[in-house]
Copies of this chain bind each other. A is one copy, B any other.
């Protein structure tokens, strides 16, 4: 966990959470003065935090006008999930020939914890372990840059993935897909791992409807 020292960073983190959690509507202006008051700081750290939001894609800045929340619409989300599927796929291909035995072991262990979380109906726990599962694959690529890019997108899509997993049958299906992925990685079959991960992450068929439904909540 990174230690954050400056107020601007803490504020940026908090604002990201607020945007994530739907506290703001799309198009809302992020008023520097009001934010400064509510955070009990001056406009300076607020402005730095807003810049971070803009550069992370959560907001848009119109010069001399202000910063506005930009929540992804259905099309944006589809595009982001498709991109994520391709990136995870690439991670799988590379990890298949590079992941360490420790990595594979961690993958299996994480999968087990996923399974127990499912059995205990611990959705929150499942989210967390599922994240670790994918992050372990990113790490397995032995490509720090790709890993960071994957983490960035994973974080960006996190809230939407959560809502998706709430649908009936999704969790158990997801679990069996995980097994396929581990098998492919264990066998060192890059193409199979790439395919399995792409299918796992991609939003197609049933999942498309579910994503669209979850957008109206």
Contact = CB atoms under 8 A, between A and B. Distances in A.
Contacts of A164: none
B55 A143 contact: no
A103 B145 CA distance: 31
Specify the main secondary structure of chain A where it touches its partner. Answer: helix
A93 B195 CA distance: 13
Given A5-B64, A63-B6, A90-B90, A143 B82 contact: yes
Contact of A82 (B63, B64, B146): B146
Nearest to A152: B149
Copies in the complex: 2
A38 to B, nearest CB: 22
A87 interface: yes
9 contacts: A4-B63, A9-B63, A82-B146, A83-B90, A83-B146, A86-B90, A86-B93, A87-B87, A87-B90
A82 B86 CA distance: 14
Contacts of A101: none
Contacts of A55: 51-52, 55-56
